[in-house]
Amino acid sequence: MTEQLDEVTIRVAAPQDADAIAQVHVRSWQEAYADIVPADHLAGLDAQDWGRRWKQHLERGPQDGVTTWIASANQRLVGFVSVGPSRDEDARRADREIYSIYLDPGIWGHGVARELMRTVISETGESTHLTLWVLADNDRARHFYRRHGFQADGVERYDEVGGAELLEVRYRRN
């Protein structure tokens, strides 16, 4: 059963958010990728380790050009999105890439991801070219991205995750 949400607030993440981001990151991976990523890999995800990495990343601040926004409701972090310069070889200087967007699985379908996406589009600018990579088998995410104006642009790659070669599809907006 999903929970009722109080008002959702979105703000830029700070180092003290690292552990909560990591908890959401791990839970989301374990739920969203259950039938895509090998089960032993998902079971072995360590939120404490991810929390340390998130803290290091957030302590670096904006000098790497990456911004992470968090969504909070019911007095806890329920989702996040990270955006930075596009890492694609064919990217132009002003292109931006959504590196990650994850929600606590208990609040999927409550509009939090929509609010995070609206924040990204508003903060980067309507005319900014945005890209992201999504696992080809992640139908839920692909549908969400299409609803927000992203389309697969024909570029694909394989990524090794937990010992499996998984196909990723690039989506582009504008």
At residue 11, φ and ψ (nearest 5 deg) are: -150, 165
Of 68, 86, 76, nearest to 12 by C-alpha is: 68
Share of the chain above pLDDT 70, in %: 97
pLDDT digits (tens, 9 = 90+) for 7-60: 999 999 999 999 999 999 999 999 999 999 999 999 999 999 999 999 999 998
Instruction: Please give the mean pLDDT across all residues of the chain.
Output: 94
Could you read off the pLDDT of 76-95 as tens digits, one per residue? 999 999 999 999 999 999 99
Parallel, antiparallel, or unpaired for β 130-135 and 96-103?
Answer: parallel
In this prediction, residue 6 has a pLDDT band, given cuts at 50, 70 and 90, of confident
Q: What pLDDT was estimated at residue 133?
A: 98
pTM: 0.94
pLDDT digit string (tens) for 119-147? 999 999 989 999 999 999 999 999 999 99
d(CA 1, CA 4): 10
Give yes or no for residue 106 having a pLDDT over 80: yes
pLDDT confidence of residue 3: 65
Q: Where are the domains of the chain?
A: 9-127
| CATH class entry, domain 9-127 | alpha beta
Task: Name the band, by pLDDT with cuts 50, 70 and 90, for residue 155.
Answer: very high
> What's the rounded Cα separation, in Å, for the pair 170 and 132?
6
Question: Are the C-beta atoms of 167 and 134 separated by less than 8 Å?
Answer: no
Taking alpha carbons only, the member of 59, 50, 47 closest to residue 16 is: 59
Question: Do 124 and 85 meet the contact criterion of CB atoms below 8 Å apart?
Answer: no
Q: What is the structure's pLDDT at 74? A: 85
- Helix, strand, coil distribution of the chain in percent, nearest 5: 40, 30, 30
State how far the alpha carbon of 38 is from the alpha carbons of 56, 102, 114, 125, 141, in Å.
27, 19, 28, 37, 19
Compute the distance between CA of residue 11 and CA of residue 20 in angstroms, rounded to an integer: 14
